[in-house]
Amino acid sequence: MSGDQAAAVEMIRALSNAGALQWYRHSLNNHTNAPTFVPFIVFRFEREHELFSERLPDVVNHFEGSVSWSLYFGGRNWALKPTKVREDFATGSWRIDSELHAHIARTEPDFCRLAVADLPELSSSVSDACQQLGEFKE
């Protein structure tokens, strides 16, 4: 398992401390040999804990990494991705998010590398926050 994949696994583990995950996917499984890609994690809880939606988005949104990050609820699923990706998609210029991801990977490889490099520290911040909330299982 690559370091990038390990960071995604750690993030999934940290998020599952907030409650059982019903479903998730992340970009790190599909791009182990790709030179650059946009990292993201999309997930849904079986039953969402109220403190998660109140506190964890702030932890992610205020994380000080190489790129800005967002954690937000899209109606059915939560999404964790670089803020730039969320904002670019919100312009309406992209039919589906994978088109935007491919465009950013092709035109902004340094941004992608920086975002991927943020994952271990971001995962650690999310994990720490889950433990600090005290309502989450170990």
129 pLDDT more than 80:
yes
Q: Tell me what pLDDT residue 92 has.
A: 86
Q: Which residues of 47-83 are buried (b: 16+ CB within 10 A; e: fewer)?
A: eebebbeebbbebbeebebebbbbbeeeeeebbbbbe
User: Domain range spanning residue 77?
Assistant: 3-133
Report yes or no on 67 lying in a domain: yes
Q: Count of domains in the chain?
A: 1
> Which SS3 state, helix, strand or coil, does residue 8 take?
helix
**Residues 102-115: what's their mean pLDDT?**
92
Check if the beta carbon of residue 28 is closer than 8 Å to that of residue 117: no
Report yes or no on 138 lying in a domain: no
pTM: 0.85
136 pLDDT more than 50:
no
Report yes or no on 92 lying in a domain: yes
